[in-house]
Amino acid sequence: MTLLLTGYEPFGDDDENPSEMVARELDGEELGGHEIVGEVLPVEFDAAFEAMRDHIETHDPTAIVATGLAAGRAGISVERVGINVNDSGSTPDNAGAEPRNERIRGGEAAGYFATLPVVSVVESLLDAGIPAHVSNTAGTHLCNNALYSTRAYLEREDRDVPMGFVHLPCTPELAAKHAEDGNGTSGASVQPSMPLSMQCAAIRRTFDMTLEE
């Protein structure tokens, strides 16, 4: 039995992505009689869900946790809902695509709730001393796309697999790199961060709570 964990490849000016690092770090771990399978999705609107679908079909997971970077957030953000919108804002994907106010799937639901035990996960993380909160918006970029598209797919296929999305903060190393553009020496603030080991612990607990429900 497997637990599917996905992260995203680096994007923008970054050469690393904590979500990719967590997926690779936890890949192959045993948890509650299950094996965590870590996979990395492309940061491309036209390819990310197809990769996710292929991983689901290949691994037939008991639960799915997708992750991505939310630079600037101070803790673990457990997303409550994905909405039927693709909008890249000021950040094109890695193929240069810049969708604006587009529907992910025409004629389908406006949104899908995560089916992970969102509140229980956050409570468990806080009990463990890991900064975390329930988030009511996953944005409109590929993190939201992963949550909405995967939940929509599971509904269409009538697959009872708990699934949700977790936004991760910067690692200290990534926050330091972001500060090298002058913020660190000009009096501006530096982005909050969390060590990779704590981010990994948060994802383990997310799966733990999901398996308990």
Q: How far apart are CA 192 and CA 14, in angstroms?
A: 16
The mean pLDDT of 190-195, rounded to a whole number, is 96
Q: How far apart are CA 23 and CA 185, in angstroms?
A: 33
Please tell me whether residue 91 adopts helix, strand or coil conformation: coil
Quote the pLDDT of residue 185: 65
As given in the structure block, the two tokens for residue 88 are 């890249």
Q: What is the CATH number of domain 2-212?
A: 3.40.630.20
Quote the pLDDT of residue 184: 58
Quote the pLDDT of residue 17: 98
Q: What pairs with residue 31 in β-bridges?
A: 34
The mean pLDDT of 128-157, rounded to a whole number, is 98
By annotation, the residues acting in catalysis are: 79, 143, 167
Is 181's pLDDT higher than 90?
no
Quote the pLDDT of residue 165: 99
**Please, what sign has the CA dihedral across residues 88, 94, 45, 122?**
negative
- pTM surpassing 0.85? yes
Is 91's pLDDT higher than 70?
yes
Judge residue 193's burial from the number of C-beta atoms within 10 Å of its C-beta, 0-12 exposed, 13-18 middle, 19 or more buried: buried
Q: How far apart are CA 104 and CA 35, in angstroms?
A: 31
Quote the pLDDT of residue 180: 84
Is 186's pLDDT higher than 80?
no
As given in the structure block, the two tokens for residue 170 are 């910067």
Regarding predicted confidence, which is higher, 126 or 189?
A: 126
pLDDT digits (tens, 9 = 90+) for 146-173: 999 999 999 999 999 999 999 999 999 9
- Yes or no: say if 22 and 167 are a contact pair by the CB < 8 Å rule: no
Q: What are phi and psi of 66, to 5 degrees?
A: -100, 145
Q: How far apart are CA 52 and CA 6, in angstroms?
A: 8
